[in-house]
Structure 1
């Protein structure tokens, strides 16, 4: 019971801020224009500044190739399992099938995982491992999403451009901020105190702002005909993936910090980016929106339970 209360104490602040965003949108204080502009602010300014500031100020002593392999192979495994399950469910609509798989593997790690880890580790999760997940894990998310949504597209033009994918990765503000932050860290480049303080101030808005924006984007209008598929996709994301991959991580001998970060990565609900990607690539974005919302609802229970189990087996600290 003590472990479960600890899990609830960790996730409650995050979901409380999410609900503030949701109710602000319902009451008309936030509209879609605010969400679009706020998303730009977080994605291009606040989060990159946070990553730069944290990485610049962190002690980065080594590069964990074993952890890189674990994260990348884990993502590929979840994608494979999701496709197998989708095929077994006989989803005939290619758009819905691609949205099902996309939502089942893509984690909202940056917008939701960061705040959770900040609370678990008192604002000091290992940046060495965070860098690995952001640089490699999120890059693979984008590559696999483009390939998946293009392959299952109903368009006659199904050409996958490696150059376009590479450009999108290189232009990603989070990747840029990681590289610049690592350069400043390794070369011990000083930053003028006034600028450093300004970067820190901007970085602090990333967590509450991103949670409010996600809350404002949630859609609780369900569809009974799709509920089974929605539930299974969200189940894979929030329950099946961590239930399989965390024990594998334990067997591989990872530290508690590595396992804690991995758990949040695997267990975090479906990313809001799934909606953006599916809409841009003409997949079933309405279905994706519903899976995102359902996975967040489920994670209100699965997060505290998962964190309490991790703490019970001494896998967090």
Structure 2
């Protein structure tokens, strides 16, 4: 029992502490909105791509490539959006809020919170495993989010532009880093030692900086405006999705690390990018922000409970 508690605390507490540090640093004035804006651009455009690239470029291909896991990841990601859409028909009355609801309920913050949790749990192997799964989830997240936000946008006659959709996906720095890392790894290319060391220095500052930024953007006051719509989206994201996906994965006999990383992927809080996309599409930004706050606060206790239960049952 004690070992299980210590294991769970070791995975979730560091992330929780960094988020709290971001809240306190913002409240005391050590960081401000300008710092968060600049650091967020730095993290998104350079830091996180470095983490993904160096994790994937060093993958060991002595073991067979698990295409089945990536296919399963794709299926559960699409299924998550589909189930969130079904739920939106029941709990979201306003047409214009449905796209925001679905994206918030199904799109996880894998690049920051997910990678941090996977690294705490399994080290570099966990980061590499989740990075590989993100090669599937990031394009799916972007494609489905753009389609849904456009369809449920203020102008129902607005059409999704295939050219813009493809451009947004291909030019995403995270997607570019994922495919570049896989290309280096599968072709046996080696990164020069100096570049590798500098790149890893850069990658090491990324997750702490990103978590501070996420903490700094959280607004406890936003909870006062929480509606039943944001509550249902948050419950679906941190509890329902992992409760559906993990038992299916257990039945399919995935190994312990794959199950652990899949659980972390499905129970991550909603991605901060969902707020930006919601605002850009003319959607309900307040609803998007509330979902991000609720899922961020609820995900760490939910992850702790889930890991404790899975560890106790011997699943991970």
TM range (shorter): over 0.9
Structure 1 residue 307 corresponds to structure 2 residue 295: no
CA contact (8 A) 2:16 2:300 kept: yes
1:201 deviates by: 0.5
1:198 deviates by: 0.7
Match in the other structure for 1:54: 55
1:58 deviates by: 2.0
Match in the other structure for 1:219: 219
Match in the other structure for 1:179: 179
**Partner SS for 1:222:** helix
Structure 1 residue 76 corresponds to structure 2 residue 78: yes
Q: Distance in 2 between matches of 1:51 and 1:81?
A: 29
- Please identify, of 231-240 and 219-228, the stretch whose mean Cα deviation from structure 2 is larger: 219-228
CA contact (8 A) 2:119 2:127 kept: no
1:304 deviates by: 0.7
CA contact (8 A) 1:4 1:305 kept: no
Q: Distance in 2 between matches of 1:264 and 1:153?
A: 31
Q: Distance in 2 between matches of 1:310 and 1:68?
A: 22
Length, aligned pairs only = 314
Match in the other structure for 1:194: 194
Q: Distance in 1 between matches of 2:84 and 2:5?
A: 29
Match in the other structure for 1:20: 21
Match in the other structure for 1:294: 294
1:300 deviates by: 2.8
For residues 132-171 of structure 1, give each alpha carbon's deviation from its aligned partner in whole angstroms, at most 9, with x where no partner exists. Answer: 4211111100100001100101125421112211111111
**Partner SS for 1:124:** helix
**Partner SS for 2:124:** coil
**Partner SS for 2:125:** coil
After superposition, the Cα gap between the structure-2 partners of 1:118 and 1:97, relative to the gap in structure 1 and judged at 3 Å, is same
**Partner SS for 1:6:** helix
1:122 deviates by: 3.0
1:124 deviates by: 2.3
| Normalised TM-score (structure 1) | 0.93
After superposition, the Cα gap between the structure-2 partners of 1:96 and 1:156, relative to the gap in structure 1 and judged at 3 Å, is closer
In the alignment, structure 1 segments of 5+ residues that lack a partner are none
Match in the other structure for 2:152: 152
Match in the other structure for 2:235: 235
For residues 263-288 of structure 1, give each alpha carbon's deviation from its aligned partner in whole angstroms, at most 9, with x where no partner exists. Answer: 00001111111111111111111111
| Normalised TM-score (structure 2) | 0.93
CA contact (8 A) 1:48 1:173 kept: yes
